[in-house]
A and B are shown apart, each in its own frame.
Chain A
Amino acid sequence: AQKVTQAQTEISVVEKEDVTLDCVYETRDTTYYLFWYKQPPSGELVFLIRRNSFDEQNEISGRYSWNFQKSTSSFNFTITASQVVDSAVYFCALSLVNTDKLIFGTGTRLQVFP
């Protein structure tokens, strides 16, 4: 069975702190895609990053970085020097090549206080 677990329901930090959002996935497939989405208070989900299962290279985009480790089935997301605008719900998701379904985790609500 395929599953995405985001064990952190809610995280609160003070501005400028670094924060890591955890994502653990389960699948027996060897080819798959992993995603992170951000859901601000306005409601729409915003695509942040996609990784395929053959690319374990970590990625950095500004203050955002992602650590993909197949050995631990994890795809963690770190925000460096957090800002109030980072406050949102963040979802990790898994997509398999033999289906059209995107399997979402339950999300992590991040609150960044000034």
Chain B
Amino acid sequence: DGGITQSPKYLFRKEGQNVTLSCEQNLNHDAMYWYRQDPGQGLRLIYYSQIVNDFQKGDIAEGYSVSREKKESFPLTVTSAQKNPTAFYLCASSIRPGGLGSPLHFGNGTRLTVT
């Protein structure tokens, strides 16, 4: 079955360490997204990519980095510069860029805890 796989489901890191969250999709979707979810704040866009080797900052990109070397993969690195990294991270994809009304398909998320 096609879908989006995020790994790991739970991740624990010490403050000051960079950590990379994996996101893989086999839906052959062009666009991929990373969202952060905090209690009571809904979802906020971190980065998105419309095509391979291209990506744009979302609303809260500071302290994060991404790469899009393959269509199927869009890993997110949470760097030590991110002041409040503990959150639930959701990866999504859409067959076309979101501006054309394509629904997003989401992974199961990664819950990152930094202590």
Q: A interface vs B, CB < 8 Å?
A: 9, 33, 35, 37, 42-47, 50, 52, 91, 95-102, 104-107
Contact A96 B42 (CB under 8 A): no
Selected A-B contacts with CB under 8 Å, 24 pairs: A35-B103, A37-B104, A37-B106, A42-B108, A43-B88, A44-B106, A44-B107, A45-B90, A47-B103, A47-B105, A91-B43, A95-B99, A95-B101, A97-B100, A99-B99, A100-B48, A100-B50, A100-B99, A101-B48, A101-B58, A102-B33, A104-B44, A106-B41, A106-B42
Contact A102 B107 (CB under 8 A): no
Residues from chain A with Cβ under 8 Å of B41 in the complex: 106
Contact B101 A100 (CB under 8 A): no
Residues of B within 8 A of A (CB-CB), count: 29
Give Cα A1 to B32, complex, Å.
24
Contact B101 A50 (CB under 8 A): yes
Q: Could you tell me the distance in whole angstroms from the C-beta of B31 to the nearest C-beta in chain A?
A: 7
